[in-house]
Structure 1
């Protein structure tokens, strides 16, 4: 992912008011390993049920504001992330819901997905494949990891695009 500035991130949100974007608590951008992530995702340390994701869509940063379900609805349970689809990692997943952009969002329409609670999908898709996944052929390993990275990018872009959709 290309490095982003605070200004770019705040301007990227497609389902937030200017006030909401301005009030978002951003991560420390100096510590982000931009070359090792496929999207920027974080929870708001001041409002733990609020989270944010910024994905490059056609080369432009596109951000969405997410709301985590409460603990009774499944926050932090074991399951498979819809983005990284890692069958080995036993990380917690959370149901995150995003208000749609435009008039649909103002009418109360939203869309949800299960995502790694810590937004560690980029790390998960880059892990060394297990033998049962690809065998011992190094070329198959590289192709497998490349396919997982491409799949993650496609799924998170699809989600963000759907949130931004005005239908």
Structure 2
């Protein structure tokens, strides 16, 4: 993924107002992120534990999404699988809900997906971060195919957020 600036990220939000995008917390360490290993940038809001965000370059354009989750983080004690990267965690997956874009979101419609609590799917897929023993199932596909699948799953989730 190509590095994104704070201004690009704020302008890319599709499911909140421009005013909300201007006020939300964007990481200050963007220059230090491992951009070459990221398929999307995901982060939790340190000032609001129930808010999370993700930004990606889909169809060569930045797109960002506001997410909500349980303020307590993951409440699950059983093993669960992230729907984006297919990593299995013991208590490290949360249901994250995104308001739909436009009028549908203003009416309260939303889309949810089970995601890694730390939104580090790209690092799990590449083996740069480990979840638990057995977190990554043995697969016969290549790393490039795993990355492509992760991006496809992310794009499908974002498409659901964007459609009315």
**How many angstroms apart in 1 are the aligned matches of 2:90 and 2:144?**
21
CA displacement at 1:164 relative to structure 2: 1.1
The question of 1:114 aligning with 2:119 is answered no
How far did 1:90 drift? 4.5
CA distance in 2, matches of 1:75, 1:50: 13
1:116 Cα deviation after fit: 0.3
Q: Distance in 1 between matches of 2:65 and 2:59?
A: 16
Moved over 3 A (4+): none
Q: Is residue 20 of structure 1 aligned with residue 7 of structure 2? A: no
Greater Rg by CA: 1
1:147 matched residue in structure 2: 145
How many residue pairs were aligned? Answer: 154
Higher helix share: 1
Query: Structure 1: which 5+ runs fail to align?
Result: 135-139
- Counterpart Cα distance in 2 of 1:65 and 1:107: 16
Secondary structure of the residue that 1:95 maps to in structure 2? strand
Structure 2 distance, partners of 1:96, 1:144, is 28
TM-score (ref. length: structure 2): 0.86
Matches of 1:91 and 1:121, distance apart in 2:
15
1:91-110 equivalence runs, <5 A: 92-110=92-110
Consecutive unaligned residues of structure 2, counting only runs of 5 or more, are 129-133
For 1:153 and 1:93, locate their aligned partners in 2 and report how far apart those are by CA, in whole Å.
18
Cα drift, residue 147 of structure 1 = 1.3
Offset of 1:31 from its aligned partner? Answer: 1.3
Contact 1:97 1:112 in 2 (8 A): yes
Q: Confirm whether residue 127 of structure 1 aligns to residue 127 of structure 2.
A: yes
**1:159 corresponds to which residue?**
157
CA distance in 2, matches of 1:75, 1:90: 9
Alpha-carbon distance change, 30 to 122 in structure 1, aligned in 2, over 3 angstroms: same
Counterpart of 2:131 in structure 1 is none
Q: Specify the SS of the correspondent of 2:114.
A: strand
1:5-60 Cα shifts (integer Å, max 9, x gaps): 11100000000111110111111211111100000000011111111011211000
Query: How much has 1:91 moved relative to structure 2?
Result: 6.3
Structure 1: how far apart are the matches of 2:118 and 2:65? 16
